[in-house]
Structure 1
Amino acid sequence: MSYPCTAFEVLISSPSDVTTDTLATIRHAIARWNAQMGKATSTVVIPVAWGEDAVAEFGGRPQGLINDQLTDRADACLAIFRDKLGSPTGEAVSGTWEEIERLDAAGKPVGILRDASARPAATGTSDVEELLRLNKHMEEHTYSRALVLPFTDKAELQDHISQFLTRFTSQAERTAEHERTTLPAETDPALGVWPRIESSEYIETDSKGRTKTRRRHELVLSNQTGRPVHG
């Protein structure tokens, strides 16, 4: 059965080493949240990610095009890190970090998770360097600004996703309710102006001297605001 709802787009942001299994788990967790909470909250969450939703385009910086297509229209962001920070974009240390900074600057919620599941240690020179780069960036630029939560398995990841979505949609609903109750009073110049129809009778004499009773109707606007109102 259909129901009215508000749709929110959540950007799934991650460097290339985050596994397809992890990304699939995130989408599954969002779908499960929609099934369990969507109707009760009149909300649906739509996951978007550059790997699935970006469109081929020429004529701009690659990350800039992704920003135009996906990042700037997203309502929130879930960023996932594993062992890599990602490739520099020309404006940020990585695409994922540029998306985090961009959405945070726009006042939109950002949740950062890190894959702490058991796996073989990095051994190649480039892999070790990238892991050290990620750890350094987290220490110097992330942990002082964010609560980064680790996950070790699918169940823990799904739990983090569910909690993030519940908190994000609740905050969004409170903001929307505040706007519904305060914005009209501040922006509608006609609020408090009430229309009414007033009728009165008058006598009309025709060319032969005969009189007729006529009724006149007037629209009256009554200002109840206590201040001048301009139409």
Structure 2
Amino acid sequence: MAFKATVYKILIASPGDVDEERQAIPDVIARWNNLNAESSGAVLLPVKWETHSAPLMGSRAQAVINEVVETCDMAIGVFWTRLGSPTGVSESGTAEEIEWFIRNNKPVMLYFSSRSIDPTKLDIDQYKALKTFEARMQKIGLTGSYTNLTDFREQLLNQLSINVQKLISGSNSPVPSQREVRERVKSIEAISKAGQLYMEDYEKDGKVKSFLVKGDTKDIKDELKDMGGRYNGSLGGWIFPKTREVELAEFLKNQRKK
């Protein structure tokens, strides 16, 4: 029998080394829907970039994917040995997606696999970057861990139910003021961005026509100035027009590789 329900879009975010988990998450979501959709009046829709985005010229690749990301209500992130490739805006595409959810005060469920690793296949630089990222996320309190795929499925189903109930109800805790939300997000974002070079849209009069390069820019300030950047102390970054986004993303991506 038909029933009315609100559809919540759940982003599946991960690097390329957790394919089994990426396949398991839609199965767990389908199981949750079978058990809870009618009684809760909510249906969960899994979203993957490979099935919900299309190529678009004239924009950096992650920016195209972000158009899909920004339609989602919650994210599930999974990591094992890799963090992913830098985007210019963040240290990886997956990290950039997660940072968007943090910045917009939307729920994020992060899992880090502790199953065994073949040392002959391990990219040491990627693994170090992942562990640094994990440590930052632990300070925010977003992380969980699992030992195998069965463990992951069981944890995800249980914790998904808890988080979806919070999503439906808007949380049982008192609703914070807009100022409290901004301060909380600012504090969390400062932790998640610690030690990074990154780009951030700058909105003025309700429009985004420029962006900021922020973080530890001391060693590249001359290059940023030569590229037409203007430092704004009150905003804490170098301002560029939006038309330079792809160029600056490539420049910052190369800085991370050094």
Deviation of 1:177 (Å): 10
TM-score normalized by structure 2? Answer: 0.63
Aligned to 1:156: 151
Is 86-95 or 169-178 further displaced after alignment? 169-178
Deviation of 1:134 (Å): 1.1
Structure 2 matches for 1:50-199, cutoff 5 A? 50-68=49-67, 70-120=68-118, 122-123=119-120, 127-139=123-135, 141-175=136-170
* Bigger fraction of residues in helix: 2
Report the structure number with the largest CA radius of gyration: 1
Deviation of 1:173 (Å): 2.2
Given residue 129 of structure 2, which amino acid in structure 1 is its aligned partner? R
Distance in 2 (alpha carbons) for counterparts of 1:63 and 1:31? 27
Aligned residue for 1:58, secondary structure, equals coil
Aligned to 1:211: none
Matched, 1:10 2:10: yes
Query: Which stretches of structure 1, 4 residues or longer, exceed 4 Å deviation after superposition?
Result: none
Gaps of 5+ in 1: 179-231
Distance in 1 (alpha carbons) for counterparts of 2:36 and 2:91? 36
Spell out, residue by residue over 1:77-107, the C-alpha distance to the aligned partner (whole angstroms, 9 max, x if none). Answer: 0000010011111100111111111011111
Number of residue equivalences: 173
Given residue 120 of structure 2, which amino acid in structure 1 is its aligned partner? T
Distance in 2 (alpha carbons) for counterparts of 1:62 and 1:160? 32
Spell out, residue by residue over 1:20-70, the C-alpha distance to the aligned partner (whole angstroms, 9 max, x if none). Answer: x221111111100100111111111000011222212112111111111x1
Kindly indicate whether the alpha-carbon contact (under 8 Å) linking 2:9 and 2:74 is maintained by their aligned counterparts in 1.
yes
Kindly indicate whether the alpha-carbon contact (under 8 Å) linking 1:26 and 1:157 is maintained by their aligned counterparts in 2.
no
| Aligned residues: CA RMSD | 2.0
Change (3 A) 1:176 1:147: closer
Give identity over the alignment, percent: 27
Deviation of 1:136 (Å): 2.3
